[in-house]
Amino acid sequence: MMIAELYRTDVQSLLALEARTQSGASQALLTEALVDDAACVMGCWQAGELIGYALLARLPFDAELQAIGVLPERRGEGIGGELLGAVLAVAADWQSERVLLEVRESNTSARKLYAGAGFQQDGMRRDYYPAAEGAAGRESALLMSRSN
């Protein structure tokens, strides 16, 4: 496994990966992030295949983890943790004071990952996300942060 920054030349691999991970990042967001100096997309490669990515955006004082996605069949192997570590290092290089994120309330594996990396819940956006496929209503987003 190799973690490396993604660039414009990686756009097709990134969009194909997002189509399978369904992290919720739009094609426009991902495409723009690859060329934006205020964003960094880290990718996890194995045997020439992009198997995970994380998108970090630079804010005036903070950084925001905007998306993280791992191939469904590769989840639980520590890839998300490796990607999270990589973007936390980028935030440190940027001298960001904090790293912010939001996560679906029902996404217990992601919440566990973030808590293990020192993130704490700061708040909640009620009924923020559309319901997961097959569910009724809407779902809340948990707001989390950690000092860098």
pLDDT at residue 111 is higher than 90 = yes
52-97 pLDDT per residue, tens: 999 999 999 999 999 999 999 999 999 999 999 999 999 999 999 9
Distance CA(24)–CA(68), nearest Å, equals 9
pLDDT, averaged across the chain: 95
Length of the chain: 148
Indicate the pTM of the whole model.
Answer: 0.94
Structural domains in the chain, sorted by start: 2-147 (3.40.630.30)
Cα angle 81, 83, 87; round to 5: 115
Q: What is the pLDDT of residue 101?
A: 98
